[in-house]
């Protein structure tokens, strides 16, 4: 999210390349989130869920390789970096940076819960607030220690998760081959029933009116944001720590030489992309079996996500000086400066298109048409930020977040002076 100034009225210290990278990330996130706006949660895991559709697989495969998880990982790295920027800005104002960051995260949690309750099941803001609070505890560690802690937690958790899922995936293959035991068939049937229940709930909420959908979420799944934070903790927290380490090392501000950035980009995108393609090939040959897809998205792809996200970041930092004067790059950087507003605004726009309280086009829209909505969303996200920033300096939600974070701080300081 875009960083508010360290105090009301102060212009933020910007790193233009970071805004550019963040803008690319927020655009890429829509390419994945659009499926969650259009259909039930399980549709984000497989082109075969909730049911097969003509033309669905090519788009899913493309998004799986280029966007899935990688843009979220990139955005999380940036969030960790931005936490350090905010703390430094607050301390330059003579404030306790950790305390101000804690206030800021508390408001982010409130935004995130309202985002979930009123609009969409796929909120990430609440999880960012929870994991950001944990990252804040260790943020004074040296860059090397932060990176090492992040990598150990990330690789360890997802390595164990991948290993734990292998017996279930093997059993699923035996069920599909007709050689499974009765217990394995019963377990597969139970999973199928759980998926059907998830689809029923999600589609019911999708087609409800605005107030009714919010009431359903509140009554039936009030703790979902906390559950998501717990499930994604081993992904989000380590990536924030690595992002903090990158910021300390000067990654986004010219602290890395060109050769190091080139090497990072080539290795990250090359190795991570090759691993992703190999996994996609296996999943496609086996017709995207649901248990394997859940494990693939949640665990197997995590290391490729980190590699590609870091590679993307390095490539974009390299490209920024050459592109900074171009109109499109400037629009992307402006979209990055208004990432919070664009993130929530995208939810509102896409929900108004697909949900029952809006145009209700979910059922009438084939999955293969979703890329068109991504392009429309990108156009909207790039259209308004430059005009708005030229007049107001910050996006509307960024300004509100800043105001709430600093609410009463200056007044108390003046009273005690």
Are 130 and 229 in contact by the 8 Å Cβ rule? The answer is: yes
Give the dihedral of Cα atoms 77, 350, 212, 42; nearest 10 deg: -60
Query: What's the pLDDT at 10?
Result: 35
Q: What is the mean pLDDT of residues 368-396?
A: 97
The H-assigned helical ranges of 15-69 are 16-38, 56-66
Give the dihedral of Cα atoms 176, 182, 188, 192; nearest 10 deg: 110
- pLDDT surpassing 50 at residue 5: no
Q: What is the mean pLDDT of residues 135-148?
A: 97
Buried b vs exposed e over 196-232: b needs ≥16 C-beta within 10 Å?
eeebebbbebbbbeeeebbeebeeeeeebbeebbeeb
Percent of the chain residues topping a pLDDT of 90? 93
pLDDT, tens digit, 9 for 90 and up, residues 15-57 = 678 999 999 999 999 999 999 999 999 999 999 999 999 999 9
Residues composing the chain: 417
Residue 230, preceding bond cis, omega within 30 degrees?
Answer: no
Q: How far is CA 216 from the centre of its chain?
A: 25
Angle at 94 between CA 92 and CA 95, to 5 degrees: 105
CA distance 381 to 339: 9
Average pLDDT, the chain: 93
Query: What's the pLDDT at 413?
Result: 53
- 9 band by pLDDT with thresholds 50, 70 and 90: very low
The tokens 């309280």 sit on which residue?
357
pLDDT, tens digit, 9 for 90 and up, residues 382-391 = 999 999 999 9
pLDDT, tens digit, 9 for 90 and up, residues 290-321 = 999 999 999 999 999 999 999 999 999 999 99
**What's this model's pTM, rounded to 2 decimal places?**
0.93
Of the two residues 226 and 9, the one the predictor is more confident about is: 226
Query: What's the pLDDT at 134?
Result: 98
- pLDDT surpassing 50 at residue 119: yes
Of the two residues 253 and 11, the one the predictor is more confident about is: 253
CA distance 122 to 2: 20
- 2 band by pLDDT with thresholds 50, 70 and 90: very low
- pLDDT surpassing 60 at residue 14: no
* Among 15, 28, 16, residue whose Cα is nearest residue 375: 28
Query: What's the pLDDT at 253?
Result: 87
- pLDDT surpassing 60 at residue 206: yes
HSE-CB at 142 with a 13 A cutoff on CA atoms is 2
| Complete DSSP assignment for 307-323 | HHHHHHHHHHHHHHHHH
């Amino acid at each position: 999210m875009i960083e508010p100034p360290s105090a009301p009225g102060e212009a933020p210290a910007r790193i233009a390349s970071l805004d550019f990278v963040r803008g690319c990330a927020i655009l890429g996130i829509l390419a994945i989130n659009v499926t969650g706006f259009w259909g039930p949660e399980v549709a984000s895991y497989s082109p075969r869920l909730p049911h097969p559709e003509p033309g669905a697989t090519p788009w899913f495969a493309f998004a799986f390789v280029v966007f899935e998880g990688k843009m979220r990982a990139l955005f999380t790295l940036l969030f960790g970096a931005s936490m350090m920027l905010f703390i430094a800005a607050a301390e330059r104002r003579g404030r306790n940076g950790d305390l101000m960051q804690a206030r800021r995260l508390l408001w982010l949690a409130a935004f995130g819960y309202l985002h979930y309750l009123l609009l969409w099941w796929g909120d990430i803001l609440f999880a960012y607030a929870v994991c950001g609070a944990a990252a804040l505890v260790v943020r004074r560690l040296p860059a090397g220690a932060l990176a090492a802690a992040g990598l150990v937690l990330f690789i360890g958790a997802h390595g164990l998760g991948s290993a734990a899922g292998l017996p279930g995936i093997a059993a699923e293959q035996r069920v599909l081959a007709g050689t499974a035991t009765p217990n394995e068939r019963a377990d597969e049937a139970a999973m199928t029933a759980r998926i059907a229940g998830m689809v029923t709930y999600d589609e019911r909420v999708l087609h409800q009116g605005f107030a009714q959908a919010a009431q359903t979420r509140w009554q039936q799944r009030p703790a979902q944001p906390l559950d998501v934070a717990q499930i994604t903790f081993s992904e989000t927290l380590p990536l924030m720590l690595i992002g903090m380490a990158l910021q300390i090392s000067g990654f986004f501000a010219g602290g890395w030489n060109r050769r190091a950035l080139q090497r990072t980009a080539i290795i990250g995108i090359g190795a991570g992309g090759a691993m992703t393609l190999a996994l996609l090939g296996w999943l496609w040959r086996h017709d995207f079996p649901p248990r394997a897809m859940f494990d693939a998205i949640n665990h197997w792809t995590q290391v490729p996500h980190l590699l590609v996200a870091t590679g993307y970041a390095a490539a974009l930092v390299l490209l920024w000086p050459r592109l900074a004067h171009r109109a499109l790059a400037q629009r992307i950087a402006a979209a990055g400066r208004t990432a919070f507003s664009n993130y929530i605004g995208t939810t509102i726009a896409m929900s108004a298109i697909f949900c029952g309280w809006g145009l209700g086009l979910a059922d009438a829209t084939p999955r293969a048409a979703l890329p068109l909505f991504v392009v429309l969303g990108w156009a909207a996200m790039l259209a308004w930020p430059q005009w708005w920033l030229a007049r107001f300096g910050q996006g509307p939600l960024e300004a509100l977040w800043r105001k709430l974070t600093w609410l009463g701080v200056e007044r108390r300081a003046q009273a005690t002076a």
